[in-house]
Chains A and B, each alone.
Chain A
Amino acid sequence: MVVTGCGAVSAWGWGVEPLRQGLRSGRSAIRPTTVFDTRGQRTRVAGEVPPPPVAVVQRIAEWAQLAMADRFALAAADEAVERADLALVGRLAGTFFGGSTAGMLECERYLGRLTGALAGHPRLALLASQQINGPGDAVARHLEVTGPTYTVSSACASGGLAIAAAVESIRRGEVEVAVAGGADSLCLLTYSGFNSLRSVDPEGCRPFRADRAGLSIGEGAGILILESLAGANARGASPLAEILGWGSSCDAHHMTAPHPEGDGAAAAITRALGDAGISPDQVAFINAHGTGTPHNDVSEARAIERVFGARWSRVPVTATKASVGHLLGCSGAIEAVATVLAFLDGAVQPTPGHGPVDPSLGLDLVLDEPRRLAPGSVAVSTSFAFGGANAALVLAAWGDAA
């Protein structure tokens, strides 16, 4: 299973290149939120996507009718398909998407106008992407994909589970090509929700740091084009990376708190490594879920310790959320893109943030500068969700990359 294209929209901008440069810089794109009023919230920051370039708006004919999450999805999908140099029409292709809020931002405007909390007419057009399958369907419609269209909404594990579903669909021979990933936009529901749980860091999230105080919500999209190696070779495509395996599990422990010993997380990683036929010793780095909440980071560290044994404190760990925020249902997708970029650059991206790394976690957090990767490296990318759903992906560099 190979990745032949990738696309992204993030707080660093529209496209993979701004994301690549941003991640390598070791800085954070988390900044003051402008999309709605943040008065009364514990935090005023988010990984908000900047306004789109004119070229992106002009390229997508249906732009004006789309919800924000749909726009992110279409821009990233177009980029991924272009990067893969792929003509989808006439191919047996499927769309596999993860999301948690889809058109909720627009739905909130509808509700506010309907109840009088906001000024304006409650136009039904605001609800066209209200259901969570909106962005995935929009991509399928835009790319004229006629195979399976599958949207997972398992909170923060959605993106990882969507990529896993795409892998399975290709393995079963249902599709030749999968457009897999996710998209989510900022909205009051999640912003205020995590605020109500006191799970947000007013300064911006700092995963695995000793004084971490919570997460920062982000938005955007991450898309991978997946194909079988035989299929990619047959059309002369150049793989960017491989997906070797996936695993999933459920904590069945608590609705919001992770298992304190990382039971479910460890099970998902172990299953992914088993599916990939890879031993923990072969893993060169981990793109961690790393939300920056005190409990989540402890749970994840314990899971890493359990899976990687004596080597656990020497496996480099990076946390993309420190750079772009927590993209919720899309986080697993954007972090899979970040992992592919690490392979292409031959280096693990550093984790932004300040303050000392939490010594009790014992992790080797990549800091300050990108850390070089050996050729043929293997990485694990993790996603752990509300409600205990967990997903892990095993990816590998292609050929001489990394």
Chain B
Amino acid sequence: MIRTAVITGLGAVSAAGCGRAPLADAFRTSSITLTPVDRSAGYHRLQRSRLAALVGAAELGQWIAPLVARRMSQSSRWAVSAARMALADASLELDPQASNPVAVVMSTAYGAAAVTEKMLRQVQDEGPEAASPALFTESVANAPAAQVALAVRAVGANITVTQRQAGPLIALGTAAQEVIAGRAECALVGSVDELSPLIHSILDRFGALAPADANGHEAARPFDRRRSGFLAGEGATVVVLEEATAARRRGARALAEVDFYGSAFDPQAPRTDWSRDPSTLVESLSRLLERHDAALDDFECVVSGACGSTRGDRLEALVLEGVWGERRLPPVLAPKALTGEHGGGLLAAAVLAAAGAEFGPTPGFREVDPELGLAPFDGSNWVAPGRLLVSCLATGGAAAWAMLTRAGQ
């Protein structure tokens, strides 16, 4: 019997709010609230990017007890909350008193940045005696995955993937393998990142963020000729993965099936930017599709990690063009225009698209870049895709792709 992994639940903490519904609404209406980043620490330069898709004061009391939450970093709180939302969405109850053969695979780009910064400042400003053990415990990149495991007594593999923008799909693929191989009955897989003012200021200093335009408007503009950087974002997304037959047996509703995934690396990419030459990744993606007998005509949508960066979006467009060639490219969603640059947003968008959610036009896009010739989805004639390709190209050279299919296709 061929075992496959299906997604049966989705939980999210995002700038749109808590849960799947607010995020789905945001994608449908193409609107989300951006928030000024706290610049009071003095880390920022003047007159640069000021806004980000921040979670704000999320009401998590339903998902995590305040007494427990206070011992956690923001990332851990969001991850635990999103995991419980995902389980609720999947109507899957795990006995917290029993050991559950559940894998937890999370990805993060920056880890617990705020906690790490706070602890380092204690050490550097006051000496090592001032270092808080509670902060240290939460400073490790795998703290959110560990807290999720503790919250639901998940005793399967516990893995944290750190591969920048490619991390969420690598995590999804890793978790799918745990389920398909039978090492776990199900998996909680996702992505969490917290945007601290320090991280925001560093991204800004690197020139990665979209600065305000002449009208004071800040926006990511994926694939647009005027794109000038990305919008920073934060949040957590967790999905429940189960083996398809087992999910059916318990009467679970599947949102999407994970058909396959793969990853690659472009050694020509600079350490902090995207490569100029798409050829390595074109070859890698083509080989991946061939290996899985995936015909390009099967794809009815591409969920792209394009975020408004000059080189990143160029690379994404050239890779898609290189693989599709003369064939017509299906509609391309660029959800990071809305959620900002954080892996959880992209993962949630991909699952929602596969589950049949409606998407509006790509915010910020107006002018086709003549070099790219790619216009992301404009909101007209949306047809829920039966099969979609998710693409994440990371700064530094890593890339990951996954193919999701609408359940029942």
Contact = CB atoms under 8 A, between A and B. Distances in A.
A388 B174 contact: no
Nearest to B288: A174
Given A189-B116, A193-B139, A387-B145, A150 B267 contact: no
A374 interface: no
A201 interface: no
Interface in B368-387: none
B164 A146 contact: no
A114 B139 CA distance: 20
A122 to B, nearest CB: 9
A251 B100 CA distance: 11
A348 to B, nearest CB: 29
B140 A250 contact: no
A185 interface: no
A140 interface: yes
A111 B121 contact: yes
Contacts of A148: 170, 262-265
A245 to B, nearest CB: 12
A191 B124 CA distance: 13
A147 B265 contact: yes
B58 interface: no
B64 to A, nearest CB: 15
Interface string A238-254: 00000000001111111
Interface stretch (B2-10, B154-162, B355-363): B154-162
B155 A40 contact: no
A385 to B, nearest CB: 7
Given A112-B124, A131-B110, A192 B155 contact: no
Interface string B171-185: 000100100000100
Contacts of A188: 120, 123-124, 128
B28 interface: no
A213 interface: no
Contacts of A389: 142, 145-146, 157-159
B125 interface: yes
A115 B125 contact: yes
Nearest to A92: B287
Given A155-B140, A195-B131, A196-B128, A137 B154 contact: no
Nearest to A132: B162
B280 interface: yes
Interface string A249-291: 1111111100000011001000100000000000000000000
Interface string B131-158: 1110011111111011101101111111
B117 interface: yes
Interface stretch (B85-93, B198-206, B315-323, B325-333): B198-206
Interface in A102-157: 108, 111-112, 114-115, 117-118, 124, 127-134, 137-138, 140-155
Contacts of B263: 147-150
Given A147-B264, A387-B149, A155 B163 contact: no
Contact of B149 (A153, A189, A250): A250
A149 B395 CA distance: 13
Nearest to B138: A255
A153 B162 contact: yes
B265 A95 contact: yes
A267 B110 contact: no
Contacts of B284: 146-147
Contacts of B119: 189, 192-193
A249 B183 CA distance: 10
A250 B128 contact: no
B408 interface: no
A192 B124 CA distance: 10
Interface string B106-128: 00111100001101110111011
Most buried by A among B123, B140, B155, B272: B140
Contacts of A248: 156-159
Contacts of A251: 155
B232 to A, nearest CB: 15
Interface string A141-177: 1111111111111110000010001001000101000
Nearest to B127: A40
A250 B157 contact: yes
B161 A150 contact: yes
A304 B271 CA distance: 43
B156 A146 contact: no
B229 interface: no
B116 A196 contact: no
Contacts of A39: 127
B124 A137 contact: no
B43 A108 contact: no
B141 A100 contact: yes
Nearest to A144: B267
A382 B314 CA distance: 44
A117 B121 CA distance: 8
Contacts of B222: none
B33 interface: no
A197 interface: yes
B397 interface: yes
B116 A114 contact: no
B397 A151 contact: no
B396 A137 contact: yes
A150 B400 CA distance: 10
Contacts of A63: none
Contact of A131 (B147, B164, B198): B164
Contacts of B117: 111
Nearest to B161: A152
B129 interface: yes
A359 B400 CA distance: 50
A128 B272 contact: yes
Given A146-B284, A155-B141, A191-B128, 18 more contacts: A137-B397, A141-B269, A144-B267, A145-B267, A146-B265, A146-B280, A149-B263, A149-B398, A172-B177, A189-B120, A192-B119, A194-B136, A195-B128, A196-B132, A252-B99, A388-B149, A388-B150, A389-B158
7 cross-chain pairs, A with B, having the tightest CB-CB distances, nearest first: A387-B146, A193-B136, A250-B158, A153-B141, A117-B124, A132-B162, A149-B265
Interface of B: 43, 99, 104, 108-111, 116-117, 119-121, 123-125, 127-129, 131-133, 136-143, 145-147, 149-150, 152-164, 170, 174, 177, 183, 198, 202, 205-206, 262-267, 269, 271-272, 280, 283-284, 396-398
Interface of A: 39-41, 65, 95, 99-100, 108, 111-112, 114-115, 117-118, 124, 127-134, 137-138, 140-155, 161, 165, 168, 172, 174, 188-189, 191-197, 248-256, 263-264, 267, 271, 385-389
17 contacts: A108-B120, A111-B120, A115-B124, A131-B109, A137-B397, A146-B265, A147-B264, A147-B265, A149-B264, A192-B131, A196-B128, A196-B131, A197-B137, A252-B150, A252-B155, A255-B146, A385-B142
